[in-house]
Structure 1
């Protein structure tokens, strides 16, 4: 039929050898399609120029003598799964069961007397063609409906997009170009050129139905509307015929609006669903993380409990914790930590306990061994609570190779609530007035103490006594505030090691033995008798030496003060006085002592030769030995005297009065009363009811400048002194340092 319509301009229809119609193919072919076949299977519905013909299982649609459907028309195809073939509805025996003005019903059977297999209901009203196809085959088969439209329909439109049908590309095969519409989606088909064909709107009515559009092969040259459904019993299709293009356009304008609203709603629902799923997933993730976190915390807690049990010792109110994570030993009293971030630590020679591998072995509830290992040395700590309030500390070191050791410290860092300190000889406040390299030191009159106490003025924390045991005279104490991430009140002890002993051989060595006493109000012990002391002289004039300071006693009255008779050296702008040296005596008798002091921080030693040569005179001679090249900028030989001495004089030259002012700064120049060349004259002082003291330099050519001044507030003393400036580096050898006479005269 398609070829007749394309190639011919005149057609003749015969029936039983008789011409029943002739004319143009467009008028003859519709007549043929409407009349050919069994008459009881043909019916017609017509409305406003729109003609719908059902002819024995085939549907034809025309408008005002113009075909809408092509010669193939529309039919239902059943797919036989067993035979793998499609069977069209035109193969059945059809009979019109009912026909009204706007509706017809047709029934198709397998044979004239067979059982009904298919049912067509066609309703045409208000230019809307409503088609329902029911299938009764047993077992059910897959069914679809195909409506072939004339090729003049060259465009399609949906609510969200539109396009053109492509060219026919194959002779017989159908061309699917990808539109698959679910139910409720409207498909518009129209022509782009001016002709008499109305626009069509297709809608699959059932929810489980879908529409697709194809091109046929170019033999049939048709547009195919394909309706399918997952329901094998029924197909339902609605075709709206728009006789006016404006109605068609308005319909899709409204459809587009509705589609946009629907899309927004679908997107909203999709977002809500996605959010619901995301929230479910998030809740699940959070719950899984919570459970994982609780399990991790439980395991961590169990591990931590095990770790704590093996790294804590305690007794009474006291507890010590080996904090490997922060490389320190923490101390607690009544469950409050009293140590700062550094805790108890050592410096040997690297800073604190950082950089070591830690291993703790708990021996008992109150005793623990701690080993610290680095590349070059090991430390062995034995920590034990001997009583409820006493923690003993023993430290040994083991080194692999000989190393130089100038400084080594044991340090206790307390929280800054500890603001009071005390030694057996003095007490005061931890100072934070001036920090130098994060340290605010307290100047002690006597650093050679074996006990230092710390307390808080508000009594919130217990009084602590840090004590050296064993060779107390070989240690120097330090008291200072330290500024780190938090401020700490610190007590340290440093062994006094002569420079000549700075090389520590490989092997194991004792490092420290001491103890910390908690919550003790005991008075600190004066262990000065254990220091290095030497005494010479008689009842009138006595001279005693005590670990680097000389003391002058005249007829029972102590005339010296502070550091007494002492020497001091300045190297690299740092002062080192004789109290910092380690001393031993070489010889001694009733009138004379020869003693040697070796400095720990500079390669120097001194030999003092002191002799009471008469009832009123002491001869003082000092020799210095340098072990290694060193820059000694200033050398001093000095006497600190009690501040009851009010006047000073230079024999045969000048005189004046001392003021009772003692600076709190390191600068004492404003309180220097005289400085210059003395020659053979002596420096002298006098005071009410006190003997006159004359200090004479007997080697003027080497130490010729004398000095008279007040000390600072720490000692509140008068100073008479000789000093010498060096402009050259001192080489290793022995040097004459000083020789002088101290003469005491009653007024």
Structure 2
């Protein structure tokens, strides 16, 4: 390890509180088990750690918090800071390396296509170090993985964090005990391959050829068993205070599921909102998507979006007014400036936003509600997803007060044979 090593931090009143500000006690239970108690007087909170070895190369960690007074804890994470001797990483969905890191204020973040994963494995540069597996045993729907490097001056560290997704509505905690994290660290060359998790909130609605799978805040669309979506798929996103928050960051629950109807609810972290999605398959190639937003406390949202991210196999888009086919360029920004890769922006038409691709069904994404302030967008994503994006967005939203509001109502039609 390096720096803070294995650590756990809580955010309270805009300040992070970690183990360095705590008084601590150690109680040895056996040769393979001990209890650590970290008492943070400034926070009126204690961290209680149970550590044990289930086998020689694995350390099990359980972290519990004891609150001595009512607190609002909006963020917490369990982190592992390691020596800069690891060259690459992999999860169950993707892999990468640390060769081309870009530092921003001493941090070089690794962008992940899918951060809702339970395990990451690091591979060392040489045989002097062993593989490291860091595995969260918390519910996968409520945990986000972060991978980044930190510049420590003369050296650097590799950092792995598992952060809890805590909706604003669940951040207030009363006096008592709360389980926080359960994890496992495994060392060795024979680290077990990562298995894809079984997801509690992955459900779908089916037609003859059309299928939509709801996956923790994104809707994946399949036609004759081929996935047409990419990355975040069907999703929503809001901008508040210049920061973007998308539906895949929320905690979701299933309200109602039928053969051709799905209703789900997502509670956002960091912003005081929830969304209710209603998705209904109207016929074998058309489904309706209706979104409502619950505001829990007054908030200003600069931009609200409804998005459909599609495979780069779609090569053409149709100009919304006169249906002239246009070509997508297979170019994707390496930075955050997406405007040069935007092909169309304007007032939506009845025809909607349409794309085509050889051997693929035509997709038509249309707006059903009438709104003078909503605009349509056709663009490429950045290099991470390298996908096509059809989008409806509303800018300059006024301050919203507690209550339920309509957010979006549209339809997606799949024209295939």
Check whether the contact 1:431–1:442 (CA below 8 A) recurs between aligned residues: no
Written as runs of structure 1 = structure 2, the 5 A alignment for 1:333-348 is: 339-348=1-10
Check whether the contact 2:351–2:366 (CA below 8 A) recurs between aligned residues: yes
Q: Which runs of 5+ in 1 are unaligned?
A: 1-338
1:711 matched to 2:381:
yes
Instruction: Tell me the residue number matched to 2:362.
Output: 692
Check whether the contact 1:662–1:711 (CA below 8 A) recurs between aligned residues: yes
Check whether the contact 1:703–1:722 (CA below 8 A) recurs between aligned residues: no
Give the Cα–Cα distance (whole angstroms) in 1 for the partners of residues 385 and 399 of structure 2.
32
Deviation at 1:581, TM superposition (A): 0.3
Instruction: Tell me the residue number matched to 2:185.
Output: 516
Deviation at 1:639, TM superposition (A): 0.5
Does 393-402 or 468-477 show the bigger shift?
468-477
Instruction: Tell me the residue number matched to 1:738.
Output: 408
Deviation at 1:365, TM superposition (A): 2.4
Check whether the contact 2:346–2:376 (CA below 8 A) recurs between aligned residues: yes
Deviation at 1:703, TM superposition (A): 5.3
Deviation at 1:458, TM superposition (A): 2.4
1:368 matched to 2:34:
yes
2:97 is aligned, of 403, 426, 429, to 429
With normalisation by structure 1, the TM-score equals 0.53
Deviation at 1:722, TM superposition (A): 0.4
Instruction: Tell me the residue number matched to 1:409.
Output: 77
1:488 is aligned, of 142, 146, 157, to 157
1:358 is aligned, of 10, 24, 47, to 24
1:547 is aligned, of 216, 227, 244, to 216
Check whether the contact 1:607–1:624 (CA below 8 A) recurs between aligned residues: yes
* C-alpha spacing 1:442/1:450, structure 2 compared with 1 (3 Å): same
With normalisation by structure 2, the TM-score equals 0.95
Written as runs of structure 1 = structure 2, the 5 A alignment for 1:219-238 is: none
Q: Bigger relative contact order, structure 1 or 2, given CA contacts below 8 A and separation 6+?
A: 2
* C-alpha spacing 1:576/1:513, structure 2 compared with 1 (3 Å): same
Paired residue secondary structure (1:667):
coil
2:206 is aligned, of 526, 537, 543, to 537
Give the Cα–Cα distance (whole angstroms) in 1 for the partners of residues 347 and 199 of structure 2.
41
Give the Cα–Cα distance (whole angstroms) in 1 for the partners of residues 232 and 184 of structure 2.
29
Written as runs of structure 1 = structure 2, the 5 A alignment for 1:469-508 is: 469-485=137-153, 486-508=155-177
Instruction: Tell me the residue number matched to 2:267.
Output: 598
1:701 matched to 2:388:
no
Give the Cα–Cα distance (whole angstroms) in 1 for the partners of residues 99 and 278 of structure 2.
39
Written as runs of structure 1 = structure 2, the 5 A alignment for 1:191-340 is: 339-340=1-2
* C-alpha spacing 1:666/1:459, structure 2 compared with 1 (3 Å): farther
1:385 matched to 2:53:
yes
Paired residue secondary structure (2:4):
strand
Give the Cα–Cα distance (whole angstroms) in 1 for the partners of residues 376 and 256 of structure 2.
30
Written as runs of structure 1 = structure 2, the 5 A alignment for 1:137-148 is: none
Deviation at 1:731, TM superposition (A): 1.5
Check whether the contact 1:650–1:681 (CA below 8 A) recurs between aligned residues: no
Deviation at 1:587, TM superposition (A): 0.9
Q: Which runs of 5+ in 2 are unaligned?
A: none
Check whether the contact 2:280–2:288 (CA below 8 A) recurs between aligned residues: yes
The Cα offsets for residues 568-612 of structure 1, whole Å up to 9 and x where unpaired, read as 111111111110000001111000001000001110000000001
Check whether the contact 1:697–1:704 (CA below 8 A) recurs between aligned residues: no
Instruction: Tell me the residue number matched to 1:589.
Output: 258
Give the Cα–Cα distance (whole angstroms) in 2 for the partners of residues 622 and 482 of structure 1.
39
Deviation at 1:727, TM superposition (A): 4.2
Check whether the contact 2:288–2:412 (CA below 8 A) recurs between aligned residues: yes
Check whether the contact 2:9–2:76 (CA below 8 A) recurs between aligned residues: yes
Check whether the contact 2:207–2:283 (CA below 8 A) recurs between aligned residues: no
Q: Which has the larger radius of gyration?
A: 1
Check whether the contact 1:419–1:489 (CA below 8 A) recurs between aligned residues: no
* C-alpha spacing 1:390/1:553, structure 2 compared with 1 (3 Å): same
Check whether the contact 1:431–1:441 (CA below 8 A) recurs between aligned residues: no
The structure carrying a bigger helix percent of its residues is 1
Deviation at 1:430, TM superposition (A): 2.9
Paired residue secondary structure (2:390):
strand
Give the Cα–Cα distance (whole angstroms) in 2 for the partners of residues 540 and 468 of structure 1.
37
Written as runs of structure 1 = structure 2, the 5 A alignment for 1:565-584 is: 565-584=234-253
Deviation at 1:522, TM superposition (A): 1.8
1:607 matched to 2:269:
no
Give the Cα–Cα distance (whole angstroms) in 2 for the partners of residues 494 and 362 of structure 1.
28
Instruction: Tell me the residue number matched to 1:446.
Output: 114
Paired residue secondary structure (1:619):
strand
* C-alpha spacing 1:617/1:389, structure 2 compared with 1 (3 Å): same
Deviation at 1:413, TM superposition (A): 0.4
**How many residues were matched structurally?**
408
Written as runs of structure 1 = structure 2, the 5 A alignment for 1:724-735 is: 724-735=394-405
Give the Cα–Cα distance (whole angstroms) in 2 for the partners of residues 357 and 479 of structure 1.
29
Paired residue secondary structure (1:473):
helix
Deviation at 1:362, TM superposition (A): 2.0
Moved over 4 A (4+): none
Instruction: Tell me the residue number matched to 1:162.
Output: none
Give the Cα–Cα distance (whole angstroms) in 1 for the partners of residues 82 and 384 of structure 2.
25
Paired residue secondary structure (2:169):
helix
